[in-house]
Structure 1
């Protein structure tokens, strides 16, 4: 499908595509800022280049094609816009163009005859610009075919003719590249083959001998089609009962077809050429043409292949006919107006943007769920004993849960939407994990009393006035009535281990007895323990260390039995 018609809104589509690309990039893609900025710059530069290049092309085409359009409009004044589009339009180049388009000396650019619009191309350099101008003139529809008019009698040099055919092939390739489509090609050969009826002013369509196909013919398939044409002509000759004109024409037509195949077609479809081969869809020959020259390549071929030598007939008078039989075999091409094509392309661009947005949103949702699953797995793997790490994992879970709840409450963000959001599926799992967290039991309350303030050295009886040191422990016990009280005695390492153990038990019992009486609690809520010198908390090699190790510890623990 060609976009070469100036009516095609390429600039608008480019801007539309750029807007969609930027929307997906900044709204959904969620790329790093550096990458997003780099891609944005590339999009803006590319779009600006397309718009600028298109604007310059339109300006250049308008300036170059205005004069051509004026001439076209004058030559086809009776055609409406729909007729321009629906009627076949063929570019015809080569030999005899003045005789094809006008009876007088005036130059006519276009002619509406034989059910088609025929446009002449006098110079090969004008072929591509004229094709683009005609596409603009037809509201975006390119020409339907290229026709090469070939009059063998006017060519005196075989090498020059072959070179001209190569230039024609090169120019046609240039047209196809600029239009974006390969136009079917046709050959129309004008050559006097009979000496009779030389005064005839014009030929009728019945005088054409043609082959055509809706698919391109290569050298081999064209040879088969040409052979079939010759068999049909020989059949007509047998039925002519000796009519000299028909017999002579048939005798000349076969070498003419051979010459067309060996000279014109072989050059236009040479597989060794760098250019694409001419897409031949048909060829036609007519017993009409210019003055025959005995030195022409055609006459040389005729003498070499058949031994015939056609007399130098005078040129045909009157206007030459267009090859109408070829028009009936034009391949049908689906053509859509520029507006319809632009709408179709806009839908394709929109679908591509939607697909890209969906992929980006799916990727972002995958990252969101992967992060939540990673935080959930970390929380589950962290042992309850490591409460600090477990609290960090719980904090991450809570942040994930709060984010998902905010999305449900205020709306799903754009970069997660486009029908790809899956956060609601993981939210119950996060809630369950967060609810399963149980903080560790608080550490027991411990009051440490200095034994020297309570007891004399080596003694287990409370010293007078020692109750002042026990007041803090008594207040703590009264503030926590639901807890058990463990009283543990500790000594330094002076003396034997047994005596130290016994002393620590006696000192613990003395403190317990005082607390029991002072707090008014049952003795069953108390427990005593003597550790002697087995649990030092300082160095027993120094006096200060030994003083620290001589202590009584009162520990409050929860009453798990509920007593």
Structure 2
């Protein structure tokens, strides 16, 4: 694998997100579905962007790769990896054209030089060359500038800002900061007949201005002093102009490259990350200096020398490539995409695991809070609130069934990951359910002494008899869903017919009082007079006759005729038992 697998990583991240939503999410199914759709849409968008970027990279680098392959056909197979590869940028009609001519690739003894006319394509070309060299990207970026062609400071700063931004994008594309070499050409019409060397400094770290200026000054002094008597004046002239050129580069070119000057940026803000300037060099080439350039003005201020007038162009002089400056920049190691992609995939897996553990901890906490809360609500109910206790107990039983399923079928992943806390709740919840005791059944019949309610032979309630019927009233109120039978009984003294009518009248009197006191309709009650037909004791004794004189109040359910309740019909609900 030579390129970073963006699409594969996007699919891996989407798969982890979908797995988390399906197995670990604490949210509702609707939210999980919506989020899953969003994740899928985001993954598709990322794949589309990665595909388009790949196509743009191939289009931007196709001509360069074809030129590189054509140039390296006659070279040994390891040439592409063993030889430094340098990207050269600059103005297409300036120093770049003078150094390369019409060629896209130039091969020298020290490096393979690849020309990039448009800085916007620099990132695509750098990424393509890294893939072409099996993970070993370009070793440096060389910025070629012809000092005599730069006439406007604002235009210069804007170009350098765009170039700095392009180098930053290229560094992100290859995943390491690309070292930058700044090589500046200055034309001189007068000079010694020998070829001028490069004067500058290079290294693996960023250069300090004082160090490289001092190095250039020392080199130029040595260069001028070693000239013969016939060439000494010309060399000193060349050395003076080159020293002025170095100082102009320090003042005008390097600050915008390092983002120390924001004159060319919009609203004074940064236009890109500062670049790592690892090499700076100046050289004099044969030509006629321009008297209108920024460099000419700097030379006049620093040295008092004036150049001859020249309209434009360099007179067709071929500029030398800064090979000596590149030698001081370290080679870039091989950076394969697979280990980095695997590391990123593992990091996302770790993030997904942490998210799953957090969701599991949260849901376990919610489970414990829910179960213990339901148990506490059940315990808070008094035994008299049996209906509410039964409802609360149903909820507790559902919780117990859920815990039993976890113990029988295994803990689901959303509660697992070693954080499950439901096992400790099974014993107390089983104890709580087993401890439920239903309330005692209500009394079916309450028996009232007739002598406490009526005078002998009378069916009119005595004053104060309501205190005797309070218990019966509470029973009726406690069970409004049940019908009430009020039955009167007498002893065997007297005429049987009279006793039957008396028992019926007493039952009606009690019925009327209970209906009025309980706020229930009369149809909720039924009355029955039994006279002396159902004695409880022997009528031969006074104690037996006293026990037989009574009024019985009984709770009975409604009778049904099929699915129809015939409420209020004494003949249906209360049959006399002979």
Please report the TM-score for the alignment, with normalisation by the length of structure 2.
Answer: 0.68
Report if the CA contact (8 A) 1:169-1:277 is conserved: no
Q: Which one of the candidate residues 145, 158, 168 is aligned to 2:151?
A: 158
Q: Is the 8 A contact 1:100 1:320 kept in 2?
A: yes
Which residue of structure 1 lines up, in the alignment, with residue 272 of structure 2? 276
Match of 1:539 among 513, 526, 539: 513
Corresponding residue number in structure 2 for 1:122: 117
Is the CA contact (8 Å cut-off) linking 2:221 and 2:239 kept in structure 1? no
Check the 8 A contact 1:255/1:302 in 2, yes or no.
Answer: yes
How many residue pairs align between the two structures? 472
Once the two structures are superposed, residues 345-393 of structure 1 have per-residue CA deviations (whole angstroms, 9 ceiling, x without a partner) of 1111211221222222222222211110110110111112222222222
SS of alignment partner, residue 289 of structure 1: strand
Residue 134 in 1 paired to residue 129 in 2? yes
The structure-2 alpha-carbon separation of the partners of 1:62 and 1:287, relative to structure 1 and needing over 3 Å to count, comes to closer
The alpha carbon displacement at 1:423 in A equals 0.9
Contact 2:199 2:281 in 1 (8 A): yes
- 1:63 to partner: Cα distance: 4.2
- Residue 350 (structure 1) aligns with: 349
1:34 maps to 30
Distance 1:334 1:492 in 2: 117
**2:253 aligned to which of 246, 257, 264:** 264
Q: Which stretch has the larger CA shift, 256-265 or 81-90?
A: 81-90
SS of 1:47's equivalent in the other structure is: helix
Take 1:381 and 1:349, find their aligned partners in 2: how far apart are those partners?
47
Corresponding residue of 2:15? 19
Compute the displacement of 1:258 (Å). Answer: 1.6
Residues 191 and 286 in structure 1, CA contact (< 8 A), matched pair in contact too = yes
Which residue of structure 2 lines up, in the alignment, with residue 306 of structure 1?
303
The residue correspondences of 1:23-422 to structure 2 (distance < 5 A) are 23-77=19-73, 84=80, 88-94=84-90, 95-97=94-96, 100-101=99-100, 107-113=102-108, 115-124=110-119, 126-139=121-134, 142-153=137-148, 155=149, 158-159=151-152, 163-164=155-156, 166-177=158-169, 180=172, 183-191=178-186, 197-200=192-195, 207-212=197-202, 214-216=204-206, 221-222=208-209, 224-230=210-216, 232-233=218-219, 236=222, 244=232, 247-268=236-257, 269=259, 270-272=261-263, 273-274=265-266, 275-276=271-272, 279-293=275-289, 295=291, 297=293, 298-309=295-306, 320-330=320-330, 336-422=335-421
8 Å CA contact 2:136–2:333 kept in 1: the answer is no
1:438-457 → structure 2 map (5 Å cutoff): 438-444=437-443, 446=445
Q: Which moved more, 1:107-116 or 1:312-321?
A: 312-321
2:43 partner SS: helix
Task: Give 1:424 deviation, angstroms.
Answer: 0.9
SS, match of residue 141 in structure 2: strand
Secondary structure at 1:262 match in 2: helix
Give 1:409 shift.
0.8
* Deviation by residue 1:214-239 (Cα, 9 ceiling, x = unmatched): 5546xxx52x2344325534774798
Change (3 A) 1:86 1:547: farther
Unaligned runs of 5+ in 2: 469-487, 493-505, 517-521, 532-548, 555-578
Please report how far the alpha carbon of residue 86 of structure 1 lies from its aligned counterpart in structure 2 after TM superposition.
Answer: 7.0
Moved more, 344-353 or 208-217: 208-217
Shift in Å, 1:163: 1.9
Distance in 2 between residues matched to 1:284 and 1:59, nearest whole Å? 35
User: Closer, same or farther in 2 for the Cα pair 1:400/1:69, shift >3 Å?
Assistant: same
Report how far residue 494 of structure 1 moved: 5.3
Contact 1:365 1:422 in 2 (8 A): yes
Tell whether the 8 Å contact from 1:210 to 1:282 is kept in structure 2 after alignment. Answer: no
8 A Cα contact 2:165 2:272, kept in partner: yes
SS at match of 2:181: strand
Offset from partner CA, 1:333-355 (integer Å, 9 cap, x none)? 77631212211111112112212
For residue 64 of structure 1, report the CA deviation from its aligned partner: 4.5
- Please show how residues 422-501 of structure 1 align to structure 2 within 5 Å: 422-444=421-443, 446=445, 458=456, 493=460
For 1:119, what is the secondary structure of its paired residue? strand
Give distance in 2, aligned partners of 1:197 and 1:357: 76
Distance 2:66 2:243 in 1: 44
Q: Is the 8 A contact 2:198 2:281 kept in 1?
A: yes
Unaligned runs of 5+ residues in structure 1 are 460-490, 502-506, 512-531, 556-563
**Superposition deviation, residue 188 in structure 1:** 1.0
| Cα-Cα RMSD | 4.6
CA contact (8 A) 2:123 2:166 kept: yes
2:106–2:112 contact (8 Å) kept in structure 1: yes
- Shift in Å at residue 74 of structure 1? 1.8
Does the 8 Å CA contact 2:448/2:552 hold for their aligned counterparts?
A: yes
CA distance in 2, matches of 1:382, 1:79: 93
* CA distance in 1 between partners of 2:129 and 2:391 (Å): 74
Give the CA deviation at 1:493.
4.6
Deviations 1:106-163 (A, max 9, x none): x43233445433211234455454334334434455534321112324x2x622x762
1:294 to partner: Cα distance? 5.1
Distance 1:124-1:54 versus aligned 2 partners, 3 A rule: closer
Normalization by structure 1: what TM-score? Answer: 0.69
Separation in 2 of the partners of 1:97 and 1:396? Answer: 82
Question: Whole-Å Cα distance in 1 between the matches of residues 134 and 161 of structure 2?
Answer: 27
> Structure 1 stretch 419-428 or stretch 238-247: which is displaced more?
238-247
Q: Is the 8 A contact 1:539 1:545 kept in 2?
A: no
How far has the Cα of 1:432 moved from its partner?
A: 2.3
Q: Secondary structure at the match of 2:343?
A: helix
